[in-house]
Amino acid sequence: MKVYLDHNATTPVDPQVLEAMLPYFREHFGNAASRSHSFGHAAEDAVEQARAQVAQVIGAERKDIVFTSGATEGNNIAIKGVAAMYADQGKHVITQATEHKAVIDPCKWLEQQGYRVTVLPVDKHGRVTADQVAEAIKDDTILVSIMHGNNEIGTLQPVGEIGRLCKERGVLFHSDCCQTFGKLPINVDETGIDLLTCSGHKIYGPKGVGALYVRRKRPRVRLASIMHGGGHERNIRSGTLNVPGIVGLGRAAEICAERMGTEAEQLRTLRDRLQAGITEQLDEVTVNGHPTERTPNTANISFAYVEGESMMMGMDDIAVSSGSACTSASLEPSYVLKALGVGDELAHSSIRFSVGRFTTTEEVDYAVERVVKAVRRLREMSPLYEMAREGVDLKSVQWDAH
């Protein structure tokens, strides 16, 4: 049996989504910007329907939605677009240590352009507080960017409290919601979010398409273009629209809205079954992230005295991740876990399990069996595990260098 438990990296396309997309590859292949004939009109109508479907999930208006090629582009447009447009009001941006690289790297780029970036530390569960944000806001702060749910550990940030604070202080608030859009309730007015990023392939839609919510009222958010040519998408993101992809994103969002309540509970039940199955059979395991304020499908678990890569090789029929998908080729320990205070050795032993819509109980039970077997086998070969079991304090051991 091959079991896929890496849904935070990407999801399979839902058959209903594929069915909605197919006509827009052949019968309705028009360019949505070609408004002089019926082929273009059909494409434009489909795009506008998808815009409404995406907007409905977050309590926004259709015209607030800008289509992108995915979350990385959406985050870049939001962060760099605000920075360029509001530079005369200030050059200070606030984010936090466990953001996705698609937020951290644009912020680093801004620093090279002369902006100041404050990176807030997180607590042992990976959370920041509204009080931390309040303390960090200065007179020249123009943007706060805090994700909703973390891609590696699932920890949820208090975006509602942070958003309300930003409104009081007159600072724009951006949130990367890739792991929570369509999975957990988010209302942009209730949370005070001004810019929100999401991606199709995280919600059983196609890869290569995403959306950026840009608030048009109270306040009207203005973004400088970071890609020029044609003025598509309110001049925020030029380029011929990916109509089949956008149709797929819209249908995927619609399905998520229909299933949100029941699906979250279904995922949480499977996640808890997986987590309990592992922790009840193995000692020296740690669940990373917040125990309750966490995305319903994610369990990031550290297995002491086991190297994560070796463990994955020992159960190659189970698709899991040893870090975020974007950085899993790196041998560096996860910067997200290090920000929580997890040591290098334990960070190297961490595996991210993320269940999805089509995951079955049988698959979860099979994965638990394979994980337990792989860990026990590797620990049998580990002298460190044996010493720890005998009560030796490994930190006090003086190792011979020869």
Catalytic residues: 326
DSSP states of 127-151: ---HHHHHHH--TTEEEEE--SB-T
Q: Where are the alpha helices (DSSP H) in 113-234?
A: 130-136, 159-169, 188-191
Question: What sections of 213-360 are H helices per DSSP?
Answer: 243-279, 308-313, 335-339, 344-348
Q: Please state whether beta strands 141-145 and 172-176 pair in parallel, antiparallel, or not at all (unpaired).
A: parallel
Whose structure tokens read 């090629």?
A: 69
Contacts of 170 (CB under 8 A, 6+ apart): none
CA dist 79 → 13, 144, 172 (Å): 29, 9, 10
| Cα–Cα distance measured from residue 150 to residue 79, given in angstroms and rounded to the nearest whole number | 18
Reduced to 3 DSSP states, what percent helix, strand and coil does the chain have, rounded to the nearest 5?
A: 40, 15, 45
What residue type is assigned to position 108 of the chain? K
Strand order in the sheet with 298-303: 285-288, 298-303, 350-354
Contact 245, 206 (CB under 8 A): yes
Kindly tell me the burial class for residue 57, based on how many C-beta atoms sit within 10 Å of its own C-beta (0-12, 13-18, 19 or more): buried
Peptide bond connecting 219 to the previous residue in cis, omega within 30 degrees of 0: yes
Annotate 355-394 with b (16+ C-beta within 10 A) or e (fewer).
bbbebeeebbebbbebbbebbeebbeeeeebeebeeeeee
By CB atoms closer than 10 A (0-12, 13-18, 19+), residue 201 is buried
Instruction: Find the radius of gyration of the CA atoms of the chain.
Output: 22
Secondary structure element (H or E) that encloses residue 224, with its range: none
CB 227 within 8 A of CB 69: no
